[in-house]
Structure 1
Amino acid sequence: MKKQNMNRDWIATARTLSQALPYLQRYEGATVVIKLGGHAMGSDEAMDDFARDVVLMQQVGVKPVIVHGGGPMINKMLEKLGIESTFVHGKRVTDQATVEVVEMVLSGLVNKRIVQAINRQGGRAVGISGKDANLMICEQTDPELGFVGTPVALDPRIIRELGDESLIPVIAPLGAGRSGETFNVNGDTAAGAIAGALHADRLMLLTDVSGVKDENGEVLTSLNSEQIKSLTKSGVIAGGMIPKTQTALDALRDGVRAVVILDGRAPNACLLELYTEHGAGSLIRDTAPRVTANR
């Protein structure tokens, strides 16, 4: 009986691989930017699962680019160092002491954890930040917020060069000011800007929710720009989902083919989105999408 069960499992695996063929062909050579949120990183086991998926994507022809956050880790380090945070309109003020901690945590602790996880799975990842090779030049978002930046100029050549060498870029969301300042950039904003500069085929925003929901709490699997604007105006899209959907709209405007907001805690979320008919989470693009092999 056990052997029969194993045979059925292998047959199911083979069938799944066969059904994935159109999607494997569809995304060969595609650039996919993945924003990995701090809450989506989870345990070491979850990180290894994510890293394995990224390595598999590269092995079948995708060019993955990872942009990460790290808010919970920053909060923990600030608390450990006894650095108190002040807030303006609900947003943290990033003074000189805080931005130094942000850079230490994002470019050091968090970035290298992701790099090591990918390398353990057989990939070749390289950690950088938006400050490297003038990848992301920023201007101050709001003087009241201190060293919080908005990307205004991007030079993605370093990402392309790493990809040409079969290296997986892992990017911390820090930018350089024109006078040499270091700016902390919202992770979603950084990922959207980088995806736009690369004209990526897909931007995946991995978060801790299953996607954009309607007024009944059901996930909307397919959305376009006009629907996003309408749902925001009516208050259905609210709270923390507003900046994520705005990032999606900005990325589409800048030339990204499609954006997906999905639950990064779900097993194999990226693979489900790219290589299955139903996808995962909420797919956003300029025209109403159809759930087909061209998703």
Structure 2
Amino acid sequence: MSESGEGILPALQAKVLSEALPYMQRYDRQTVVVKYGGHAMGDPALGETFARDIVMLKQSGVRPIVVHGGGPQIQSLLKRLNIESQFAHGLRITDQETVNVVEMVLAGSINKQIVAMINRFGGKACGISGKDANLMTARKLQRTVRDPESQIEKLVDLGFVGEPETVNPHIVDVITESDLIPVVAPLGVARDGLTYNINADTFAGALAGAMKAKRLLLLTDVPGVLDAKGELVTSLTTGQARDMIADGTITGGMIPKIETCMAAVEAGVEGVVIINGKVPHAVLLELFTAHGAGTLIKAETGQPEKTERE
């Protein structure tokens, strides 16, 4: 290779770093909550890339907070322990035996694996759950179903499935103000001391809202929100998102994600982004490049839309 050819890659790397500077400055000392889950958690290579990116955020002056899920890992352990999941009207019930496994996996094995990965690449991660210092108090999640024959709404007892009641982010503030990176398992504690499993997206949204985060990133297994033609929508206002739910463009499992996004924005998060966690360096692409990597959801502003991330 010629001497000039050898210099191409370093020059390109320098150019990329230089172009990232204004975005690094935008997020300096800003809180970014990242919900880590989906198939990316089961891919060792993607896991290492994610850990390196979180360390880079911290080194760049960002205050990253990782909230993780663990559904597939929980189901795997339940199967190994011969614990069968119970359902009522199609909804999964989390009994006492199951929630014990959930806590073991979320606050134990998965949490510490993520902590170890971040530490391996030079970070200083600290694993906690929503139970620590009463970070997240929970109440029992209420769900109703309509009986197809009588058309009467019936309350379904989902067991130890909860939703956020209050958020006290003091412990996370203390950690992020230091050189540590908090890694948080989505468990909550009720006022009577019972442990509740909280959906990781919901948990991350409530935490981001309480901390008035600059960004909440929801890493998923899809590129983001798709329009009626199947093309990626790069940005939405909360009003546009509601319209897409109403007209049937947004359906299925994407609806609760969008509802989480809207609730977080209304609670004070500047912007929420749904991105594909299977894309290497998705977090850095979203935060440190002009056009981002997924669907950005923000509040109504009355200003013309722009293509670049704001």
TM-score category (smaller protein): over 0.9
Alignment check: 8 A CA contact 2:38 2:219 kept: no
Rounded Cα–Cα distance in structure 1 between residues aligned with 2:88 and 2:230: 30
SS at match of 2:157: helix
Segments of structure 1 that go 5 or more residues without pairing to the other structure are none
The one-letter amino acid paired with 1:191 is A
Partner of 1:218: 231
Q: Conserved in 1, the CA contact under 8 Å of 2:38 and 2:277?
A: no
The CA RMSD measured in Å over matched residues stands at 1.2
- Taking the TM superposition and a 5 Å limit, the aligned residue runs for 1:5-84 are 5-84=5-84
SS in 1 for 2:7: helix
Name 1:290's counterpart in structure 2.
306
Bigger mean CA offset, 139-148 vs 257-266: 139-148
State the one-letter code of the partner of 1:261.
I
**Which residue number corresponds to residue 134 of structure 1?**
134
Q: Where do 4+ consecutive residues of structure 1 move more than 4 Å?
A: none
2:152 matched to which residue of 1? none
Structure 2 spans left out of the alignment, 5+ residues: 143-155
Q: Of 247, 251, 273, which residue of structure 1 is paired with 2:260?
A: 247
Once residues 276 and 90 of structure 2 are traced to their aligned partners in structure 1, the CA distance between those partners, rounded to angstroms, is 24
Q: Displacement of 1:6 after TM fit?
A: 3.1
8 A Cα contact 1:66 1:170, kept in partner: yes
Identify the residue that residue 99 of structure 1 maps to in structure 2: 99
Indicate if the aligned counterparts of 2:46 and 2:278 stay in contact, CA closer than 8 A: yes
Distance 1:127 1:2, change over 3 A: farther
Contact 1:41 1:265 in 2 (8 A): no
> 1:84-233 maps to which residues of 2 (within 5 A)?
84-142=84-142, 144-233=157-246
Number of aligned residues: 294
8 Å Cα contact 2:33/2:215 also seen in 1: yes
Matched with 1:275 is 288
Equivalent position amino acid for 2:130 in 1 = G
Structure with max Cα Rg: 2
Report the Cα distance in structure 2 between the residues aligned to 1:210 and 1:18, rounded to whole angstroms: 27
Give the Cα separation in 2 of the matches to 1:38 and 1:24: 27
Q: Is the 8 A contact 2:33 2:208 kept in 1?
A: yes
* TM-score, length of structure 2 as denominator length: 0.92
State the shift of 1:40 in Å. 2.3
Structure 1 length-normalised TM: 0.97
- Measured at CA, do residues 101 and 2 of structure 1 come closer, stay the same or move farther in structure 2, by a change above 3 Å? farther
CA distance in 2, matches of 1:129, 1:271: 25
| Matching residue's letter, 2:306 | R
Retained in 2: the 8 A contact 1:78–1:84? yes
